[in-house]
Amino acid sequence: SNEASESAFTWGVIAGYQIGPYFAAEAGYLDLGEAEYKARGTVTDGFDAASVEYAATMDSTGFAVSALGMFPIADSGWDVFGRVGVYFGSNDIKESLTIDDVVDAGEDDTSSTSFLWGAGVSYTRGQWSSRIEYQQYQGVGEDGDFDGLDVDRIVFSAVYRTGLGGW
């Protein structure tokens, strides 16, 4: 049997600058949470059987830069936006293999560069905006030996606009 899970909580801090009503640039620090995979089974050669368990966890933190294209909906305060960018991840991977109570474990720290994209809506009133957005980070943790994971996020955020074009 096998099972996979991801932590439901991720967080980030961003700063950005809006250039006119249609474009913004943002940079931030993110913690994308932890993903876990476990598998168990029995292996046999026809004579002897062995209990086998495999477990792996990965967490990723890093910096991201992105560009936003925004489409204001009349003068309603609502915007629809799309995002493209790059995530520079620092990834920690831990693995263990257990065969009949004999454990072999290891850790690896990797760096990866991942494409990110997203889409969402925002509502602005005064200097505050609220957003809901879907984001995907593709191939997080990818290196020569590991294909990486796609990380999906639903983001709720509050944005304070300074009045100087920044947010």
* pLDDT tens by residue, 59-77: 999 999 999 999 999 989 9
Chain-wide mean pLDDT for the chain? 90
Q: With CA atoms as reference, report the closest residue to 139 among 67, 60, 68.
A: 60
In the chain, % of residues over pLDDT 90? 61
Hey, what are 23's tokens? 């474009």
pLDDT for 166: 45
Q: How do residues 75-94 score in pLDDT, each as one tens digit?
A: 899 999 999 999 999 999 89
Q: What is d(CA 19, CA 28) in angstroms, rounded to the nearest whole number?
A: 18
pTM for this structure? Answer: 0.84
Residue 58: Cβ-neighbour burial (10 angstroms; 0-12, 13-18, 19+): buried
Binned at pLDDT 50, 70 and 90, residue 163 comes out as low
Q: What is d(CA 37, CA 43) in angstroms, rounded to the nearest whole number?
A: 19
